[in-house]
Amino acid sequence: DNYEKALDINSRQYLAWSGLVKHQVTVGGNTMLPKNKQSKKLALKYANGLVKTRPEAPFSYQIKGNIERQYSNMEAARVQYQKMIEVAEETKSTSLGAGYNLVAHTYLFSGDYQKSRENYEMAASRSPSKYSKIAYWEFGVWSYLYENDYDGAVKALDELDQKVDDKNYSESEILNYKANNQFTKFIAHSYNQNKSEAYDALQANWRLREERLSLNESDDEVSQRNYDTFNAWMESWYYILFAEYGEAQKSLRRLYSLVKDLQSPGSLDGYNSLSGMASLFSGDAKKAVSYFENIEKENNVYFAYFKALALEGVGENEKAQEIFTFLANWNFQGWQPALVRGLAQDKVNG
């Protein structure tokens, strides 16, 4: 390995230590070695190389924290992220906000939702980037979904709308953020079985995204198709969540007509995922399994849970349990894991 050779020549090659450790741990979009070649012991060896080479770099401690988090040791991860914060404060680093964000994650995945929200707020207040601020506030909103506190999520989304208005964002950015907020509000109302409020949020999302689309000077066919596709996907999901399977099938047919001729890989994933969910909820686990066949758990965390339920329904318990275990230990933020991580943990813990 070239990184190993570089370290043989000079053991203080920070980029070499960084390259090696990124084979072992998630940093963000990096390509890791296959699971059977990953080792916590090796990862920590490389991370200690980073710390020894550059103890004044917050990233060195972030990596050590990421390793512990990857292996679901949240307390040990928090210690490293807090060290990252100390170093960021000492060096006046712009990664101070990121440090608080990572501490917040450790509280979130330990089930201390209030502490997680306090730290997401700290992250936002200490981040120099207005875009990072929005991301951290959004994480705070999603923490309510992890907690199954859907009323709390809706209240936090109303506050987030106000924060978007108070910041200096462009018109298109404001429309995007507010559309995203309505999407999350749609989820919260749907999971709370507030049908009319969920439909209002769905309509508001469509309206805001249409307004955003109208800002495009050129008549962009792809943007219009993406808009129509997402609307059909969201409407199908709405009907499934409220057990209106006949209406869901109509929306799914419209969705299929929009994506069936696309050449991109995964273009049918949205259709197949929802069709699998509809089949499962209609009592046909075998048909659901066929729809879920190409849905990978790593890329589709939410629907992977329903794939596992379908597998369980046809007696494929070992495969189902593997997915449940994977989801139960998925220590990354997002609305998708927020809705299924706890359910998967219940399945694993019996």
Q: pLDDT digits over 201-242, tens only? A: 999 999 999 999 999 766 688 899 999 999 999 999 999 999
3-state secondary structure of 219: coil
Could you tell me if 307 and 276 are in contact, meaning their C-beta atoms sit under 8 angstroms apart?
Answer: yes
Q: What is the pLDDT of residue 217?
A: 67
Distance (Å, whole) CA 209 – CA 231:
10
Burial of 329 (0-12, 13-18, 19+ CB in 10 A): middle
Residue 107: which of 134, 80, 77 has the closest Cα? 77
pLDDT of residue 316: 98
Q: Residue 276 in contact with residue 295, Cβ under 8 Å?
A: yes
| C-alpha 30 chain-centroid distance | 16
Q: What is the predicted pLDDT for the residue at 220?
A: 82
Long-range contacts of 115-122 (CB under 8 A, 24+ apart): 116/140, 116/143, 117/143, 122/97
How many beta carbons lie within 10 A of that of residue 174, not counting itself? 17
Q: What is the pLDDT of residue 36?
A: 86
Within 8 A by CB and 6+ apart from 243, the residues are 281
Alpha helix positions (H), the chain: 2-9, 14-21, 40-53, 58-70, 74-90, 96-108, 113-126, 130-146, 150-166, 171-191, 195-214, 221-241, 245-259, 269-281, 285-292, 301-313, 317-328, 335-348
The pLDDT, as a whole number, for residue 218 is 64
User: pTM score, two decimals?
Assistant: 0.94
Query: pLDDT value at position 2?
Result: 87
- Predicted pLDDT of residue 165: 87
pLDDT beneath 50, residues of the chain: none
Closest CA to 308 of 293, 324, 295, 296: 324
In the prediction, which pLDDT does 120 show? 98
Cβ neighbours around 121 below 10 Å, total: 16
Instruction: Please give the C-alpha separations between residue 151 and each of 110, 144, 194, 255, in angstroms, as whole numbers.
Output: 22, 8, 11, 30
Residue 289: the pLDDT is: 98
- Residue 242: predicted pLDDT: 98
Residues 6+ apart with CB under 8 A from 271: 233, 252, 255, 256, 259
How far apart, in whole angstroms, are the C-alpha atoms of residue 70 and residue 33? 14
The Cα 126–Cα 101 span in angstroms is: 10
Contact between 290 and 307 under an 8 Å Cβ cutoff? The reply is no
